[in-house]
């Protein structure tokens, strides 16, 4: 593949999907193979984007309107894009981002019921057509995902857990719907397998692109 314009890849998935471990493994593999890679995450160490994110996460803002939140995510995304993603793509690098547009489509659009189309619209304004060439979605049953992060899985399931589970089931469904919207760039990876196998499956998809 011609890298003159860089290569933009994003990684998506719900809680306990192993996203950050897999990302580290992918980067290690690519660097070993002498590719210039930039690992980033939204908001990705860009100060303005982080400041915006802090407003979203601030406990005193629990009454934040859902659309306000969606607009702030889009604003944060844009700053990260213009300050970090695009400049590195222009240098011909592989940029891999932990979460991007699809997180908003799924979390705000689908799981929080604002609507995927609406969220896509505001984000198209923010991203000026910069879509990833490849998006890997680490798919796992949220029950297993939550168990993975909740070491103390023996304890009784409470009301909050059930709410959480329902929300994450919705997130999973939203990600699977995305595959129908963007069948070309999105690949679903079975994240219930071992870390080694999931890493291998992800690298296989990236290799396909590199060898195009």
Indicate whether 107 belongs to the interface with ligand TYD (CB under 6 A).
yes
Q: What x-and-dash track marks residues 176-195 binding ligand TYD by CB under 6 A?
A: --------------------
**What is the size of the binding site for ligand TYD (CB under 6 A)?**
9
Taking the C-alpha atoms of residue 40 and residue 134, their distance in angstroms, rounded to an integer, is 15
Indicate whether 110 belongs to the interface with ligand TYD (CB under 6 A).
no
CB 22 within 8 A of CB 190: no
Q: What x-and-dash track marks residues 37-56 binding ligand TYD by CB under 6 A?
A: -----x--------------
Please give the sequence-ordered ranges of beta strands (E in DSSP) within 60-110, or none if there are none: 94-98
Q: Residue with structure tokens 């192993």?
A: 18
Indicate whether 10 belongs to the interface with ligand TYD (CB under 6 A).
no
Residue nearest to ligand TYD (CB): 107
Indicate whether 175 belongs to the interface with ligand TYD (CB under 6 A).
no
CB 92 within 8 A of CB 36: yes
Taking the C-alpha atoms of residue 201 and residue 195, their distance in angstroms, rounded to an integer, is 10
Taking the C-alpha atoms of residue 64 and residue 209, their distance in angstroms, rounded to an integer, is 40
Tell me whether residue 1 or residue 124 sits nearer to ligand TYD (CB atom).
124
Indicate whether 103 belongs to the interface with ligand TYD (CB under 6 A).
yes
- Distance set, CA 162 to CA 5, 13, 166, 167, 180 (Å): 45, 19, 6, 9, 28
CB 90 within 8 A of CB 38: no
Among the residue ranges 98-106, 149-157, 181-189, 191-199, the one whose residues contact ligand TYD (CB under 6 A): 98-106
Indicate whether 135 belongs to the interface with ligand TYD (CB under 6 A).
no
| Site residues for ligand TYD per CB under 6 A | 15, 19, 42, 73, 99, 103-104, 107-108
């Amino acid at each position: 593949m011609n890298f003159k314009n860089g290569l933009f890849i994003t990684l998506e998935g719900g809680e306990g999907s192993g996203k950050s471990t897999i990302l580290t493994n992918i980067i290690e593999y690519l660097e070993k193979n002498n590719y210039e890679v930039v690992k980033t995450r939204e908001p990705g160490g860009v100060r303005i984007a982080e400041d915006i994110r802090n407003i979203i996460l601030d406990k005193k803002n629990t009454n934040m309107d859902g659309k306000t939140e969606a607009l702030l995510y889009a604003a944060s995304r844009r700053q990260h894009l213009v300050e970090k993603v695009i400049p590195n793509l222009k240098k011909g690098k592989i940029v891999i981002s932990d979460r991007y547009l699809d997180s908003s489509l799924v979390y705000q659009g689908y799981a929080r019921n604002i609507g995927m189309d609406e969220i896509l619209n505001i984000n198209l304004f923010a991203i000026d057509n910069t879509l990833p060439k490849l998006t890997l979605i680490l798919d796992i049953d949220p029950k297993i995902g939550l168990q993975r992060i909740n070491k103390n899985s023996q304890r009784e399931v409470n009301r909050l857990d059930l709410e959480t589970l329902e929300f994450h089931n919705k997130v999973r469904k939203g990600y699977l719907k995305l595959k129908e919207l963007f069948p070309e760039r999105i690949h679903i990876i079975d994240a219930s397998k071992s870390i080694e196998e999931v890493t291998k499956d992800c690298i296989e998809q990236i290799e396909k692109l590199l060898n195009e």
